[in-house]
Amino acid sequence: MGETFGPVVIQGEVTNFHQPKGNLIYFELKDKESRILCFMLSWELKVPIEDGTEIRVLGIPSLFKGSGGFHIRVQEIELVGEGALRKAWEALKEKLEKEGIFALERKRTLPRFPSRIGLITSSDAAAYTDVLRILKNRWSGLTIKFLPVAVQGIGSITRIVKALGYFNQKQDIEVIILTRGGGSLEDLQSFNSEDVVRAIFASQIPVVCGVGHERDITLADLVADQRASTPSNAAEIVVPDRREIINTINWRTDQIKSNFSLLLKRADEEITEKLSLLEEGVRSWKDNFVYLYEKLGQNWRSFVQSLFWQKEKLHSSLIKIKERFTFNLEVVKEQLVTQTRLITTLSPQATLDRGYSLTYLKDKQKIIKDSQEVKSGDNITTRLAKGKINSKVN
């Protein structure tokens, strides 16, 4: 490989485009007078090109020492021409739609009152001054971090992607405004590039995109969390208007005052009504109390007399109960004496006292009723009224 030079921009028509099985892509750029060999890595090709496509490339020119051959190491490609750009726009839009890049459900809600805003645009563009002016006029206390980038031409895509990555790496802002003024489809193609679209999609910070005018719709608009019709509209979307907020606060305050006054009036009416009911209730309770007190006074004597009569009746009943209990107790005692005498008369001991005896086998404690129940040699015991006799059968 020979000596290299700084990057250059070349425009021409693609010819001899071919992509071998490896990772390299080769083609030539030609005009009416000359042509030059170009190559790039296959994954770096972001737009569809073929023989006959008019393009503009950013690349590094270089010479081979041996042959002196001159070629361009391509870094970035821009399409030239309305037809090619429109075709590439439709193809990329269809591809990204299938991936769900533009899906509404993945888009995030913007902060209601942001204080730290990131701005990505060209410092030379009218969009820059318009956005700053509107932001400051509508809201105060803002910290605006501005990253100037090229918004069209070779190299602008890389700068926009890097700016988005920088803000996401710092994570010290709440919303990003990506904007530029209007232009042709060729002027806006940086905002239709796949790299920029995917960088917006990957952003962890909500992105508001305002490109050109109402009629200008880019792929960056479609993927952004919020699309603005113009740069000025982007600023209006990001921050509220202090006058509207003040008017809203005043209206809310008036509403609160009105509602509070109405609540006080209703509360006063309810309290008055409750006090009236309470007064009526107390008066009724008082009348009932007086009536009951008078009634109690009228019936007190009869109550005391009735109580005395009940006491006398209770005393008389207690005396009768006591007498009945004493009588029953004497009856029970007499019955107990009679039963005791009967038990004593019929007991075995009484029989023994009359001269009878009981004989039983000593070992088995069995009373002998028949002489056949014993045999010679058995030990027997004879129980008398007093004491007992042990014998042995012969």
Question: For 299-350, what is each residue's pLDDT tens digit?
Answer: 777 777 777 778 888 888 888 888 888 888 888 888 888 888 777 777 777 7
Domain identity same for 104 and 125: yes
- Domain end: 314, 336, 358, which one? 336
Quick one: which H or E segment has residue 250?
A: helix 242-345
pLDDT score, position 326:
86
Whether 99 and 224 map to the same domain: the answer is yes
* 96 C-beta neighbours (distance < 10 Å), count: 18
Distance in angstroms (rounded) separating the CA atoms of residues 144 and 69? 50
Given a cut of 50, is residue 2 above it in pLDDT?
A: no
d(CA 245, CA 236): 13
Does one domain contain both 127 and 220? Answer: yes
Are 190 and 303 in a shared domain?
no
Q: Is residue 139 located within the same domain as residue 227?
A: yes
Q: Averaged over 374-391, what is the pLDDT?
A: 82
Q: Is the distance from CB of 135 to CB of 235 less than 8 angstroms?
A: yes
Could you tell me whether strands 70-79 and 35-41 are parallel, antiparallel, or unpaired per DSSP bridges? Answer: parallel
User: Do 101 and 75 share a structural domain?
Assistant: no
> What's the mean pLDDT in 106-123?
94
Domain end residue (candidates: 80, 106, 130): 80
Query: Does the residue 36 lie in any domain?
Result: yes
Domain that holds residue 374: 350-392
Residues 277 and 310 in one domain: yes
Residue 345 forms part of a structural domain: no
Query: Residue 144: how many CB atoms within 10 A of its CB?
Result: 14
* Residue 207 and residue 258 in one domain: no
Residue 143: which CATH number? 3.40.50.261
Do 94 and 220 fall into the same domain?
yes
Predicted model pTM: 0.57
| Residue 2 covered by a domain | no
Question: What are the E-state strand segments in the chain?
Answer: 8-18, 24-30, 35-41, 54-63, 70-79, 116-121, 143-148, 175-180, 207-211, 226-228, 358-361, 366-367, 379-383, 388-392
How buried is 178 (Cβ within 10 angstroms: 0-12 exposed, 13-18 middle, 19+ buried)?
buried
Q: Residue 343 domain-assigned?
A: no
Q: Per the domain annotation, does 1 fall within a domain?
A: no
Instruction: Mention every residue, 6+ apart, whose C-beta is less than 8 A from residue 111.
Output: 174, 175, 206
- Domain assignment present for residue 184? The answer is yes
128 and 32, same structural domain?
no
Of 289, 304, 336, which one is at a domain's C-terminal end?
336
Instruction: Count the domains in the chain.
Output: 4
pLDDT of 1: 45
Tell whether 179 and 279 lie within a shared domain: no
pLDDT, tens only, 264-301: 888 888 888 888 888 888 888 888 877 777 777 777 77
How does pLDDT run across 34-83, given as a tens digit for each residue? 888 888 888 888 788 888 888 888 888 887 666 667 888 888 888 887 77
143 and 207 in one domain?
A: yes
The answer to whether residues 179 and 131 touch, using CB atoms and an 8 Å cutoff, is: yes
Stretch 20-33: mean pLDDT: 85
